Amino acid sequence: MINLVYNEMVKITGKRRLLVVALIIAILITLFTYAQAQQAADNRERFGDVDWRIALEQRIAGWEARLASGGFRGDDGELELRIAQQRYYLDQDVNPAEPGAPTFVRGFVENGISLLLPLMMMIVAADLVSSEHGAGTIKVLLTRSVRRWRILLSKYLALLLSVSFIITLFGLLAAVISGFVFGYQGWDAPVLTGFSTTGGELDTSGVRIAPQWQFILMELGLAWFVSVVVATITFMLSVLVRTTAAVMGIMLACLIAGTILRTMVSSWETAKYLFMVNLELIDYLEDAAPPIEGMSLGFSMLVLLVWGVIALIVSFVSFTRRDVY
Amino acid sequence: MNGRWIKGLMAISALSGFIWLGGLGWTLQDYFAGAVDTPAAPAPVEEETAPPIPDDGKFRVVALGDSLTRGAGDPDGKGYVGYMTDELKTKAADQDVLVNNYGFDGMRTPELTSSLAKPAVRAELKAADVIVVSIGGNDLFRSGETLGNLDPGYIATIQEAYLNDLDGVLKELRTLNASAELFLIGLYNPFIARENAETTTKIVRDWNYRAAETAADYPDTVLVPTLDLFQLKIQDYLALDQFHPNAEGYKLIGERVASLITWEEESE
């Protein structure tokens, strides 16, 4: 089995797919790093004469006064955590508006999880099976003594390996490249997490502070899960549809429809069962309201899991039963 | 040679796969179990009555109110309370001046009422020699909302509500502390250089007049006017947000309040 997987990895690397993905990610990260550095410089120019420490101290003092006088309309516990969070920046002498590479990575994963990462997965997964049709090698592959499901499984395992590798690459490149510009400080900066929504209202009772490195690890874990599901669905299409271009077209349409739907569907409730509406898992860790009421991390992951499992079953059934001629 | 490279890649990929799976597991554990082990019961409520503060000879100032008390717009964050204290300290260098500032941005009068229920605030108020209050600006302007609706009927509604709340606040303050001098900071018109200046200034003038009438029911309660301070050279005294005073503007208010504070303690 491991030889079969190895064989598939040779094919994937031979097509330089991973190299293309790495290049795209590296170029995008460089662009975003540059944009963010420009913005930071712009802010410095505009608010240059204000010392951020004083501004931060004022904000903390304001919050503390709010706590002391009890006029705060929300949850006191959340405010205390926010004060603790801002104090970290003062203690560590880090300007919260100009954070280091870890904060960049956190934001980048958050923004990449719903479109950029799935697109990268698509590049690898789209032609895994369909290209065998295109090149006519499918017959060579299937006339060997290996059972069909093992061939497909080896392809799928190679895909899983590639997905894991791309996530690692994504995190590493983001940290290394942005670190050149922003510096590598802030791995243990506090991040607020544990928000939940009950009845459409943001519930802050479970809010707690996580160090940033843990939050990034959690984010990448979620990104990995999303990527695996998207890759699995692309894999299924690659089995069902014989031209790679069509696979790419269908997946692109789905993913882009997802980004549009997420902003529009709050009234169309059944849309929450579509996989592309459920890709922004990281939002659940933060204080963002879900696109449709009733969605939660557990719900979205379950929907994605069901889609992934069904796609996997369809791929195997179709691949093992189909006549190839 | 190529083969070993790919095998290495596979090993790294497999390893990272397990790491991210671990990250996913951690997320789930944190998301679903984390909420449970945070204490479900709210943190123990502060003791109902804070211990009374003994009179240690210090001159105690308690500041209550909105962003003016907080000092929004002042790069140093001192606000009129800070400049007032500076002034007091130069007036009587041998006197210890202790300031407690409970102001926060955006405070409206109902919130002031609820903050008066806090035991710590009540204890401070009971021991205060001077109480300064800036309130009403957010009741009237509502983050600029009111500018779009200068209808007299609407203004009258919010004014009645404000005066009613203000009366409650003053009554409560006088119940807590009958002897402290109480300074209520009047409103200025930050929109005096904009369109409808005549209307807005009239509204502010009327607002201050009615507030002063309400304050007149209580002893040693002074409404400190600020409308005149900002009337002529508003641009010199406003912060970048064109609403809050800047450092110079706060200095004007602070000095005016400080000039009203007398030093009976000294003569004793």
pLDDT-derived band at A268, boundaries 50, 70, 90: confident
Contact assignment for A217 to B32 by CB distance below 8 Å = no
**CB-closest option in B6, B25, B120 to A9:** B6
Each residue's pLDDT tens digit, B165-202: 999 999 999 999 988 999 999 999 998 888 888 889 99
Percentage of chain A exceeding pLDDT 70: 88
**Overall number of domains in chain A:** 1
Does residue A43 lie in a domain region?
no
State yes or no: pLDDT of A226 exceeds 90.
yes
Contact assignment for B20 to A224 by CB distance below 8 Å = yes
State yes or no: pLDDT of A180 exceeds 70.
yes
Tokens of A119: 């697109």
Smallest Cα–Cα separation from B71: which of B63, B62, B80?
B80
CA distance A172 to chain B (A): 11
Percentage of chain B exceeding pLDDT 70: 91
Per-residue CA distances from A264 to A261, A298, B89, B132, B247 (Å): 5, 22, 60, 50, 46
Mean pLDDT for chain A overall? 83
Contact assignment for B23 to A284 by CB distance below 8 Å = no
Partners of A69 on chain B (C-beta within 8 Å) are: 64, 102-104, 115, 118, 121
Does residue A215 lie in a domain region?
yes
Q: Which of residues 198-227 of B touch A (CB under 8 A)?
A: none
Does residue A21 lie in a domain region?
no
CA distance A163 to chain B (A): 8
pLDDT of the residue at B226: 92
CA distance B199 to chain A (A): 32
B187: DSSP letter: P
Partners of B19 on chain A (C-beta within 8 Å) are: 168, 217
Mutation for A interface: B24, B29, B45, B99, most A CBs within 10 A = B24
Per-residue CA distances from B135 to A110, B14, B32, B68 (Å): 42, 63, 44, 9
Does residue A38 lie in a domain region?
no
Does residue A89 lie in a domain region?
no
- B46-55, Cβ contacts within 8 angstroms, sequence gap of 24 or more: B46/B118, B46/B119, B46/B120, B47/B119, B48/B119, B49/B119, B49/B122, B49/B123, B50/B119, B50/B120, B50/B122, B50/B123, B51/B123, B52/B123, B52/B126, B52/B127, B53/B123, B53/B124, B53/B126, B53/B127, B54/B127, B55/B127
pLDDT of the residue at B266: 47
Q: Which domain holds residue A268?
A: 2-15+99-321
Q: Which of residues 39-58 of B touch A (CB under 8 A)?
A: 42-43
Query: Closest chain A residue to B14 measured between Cα atoms?
Result: A161
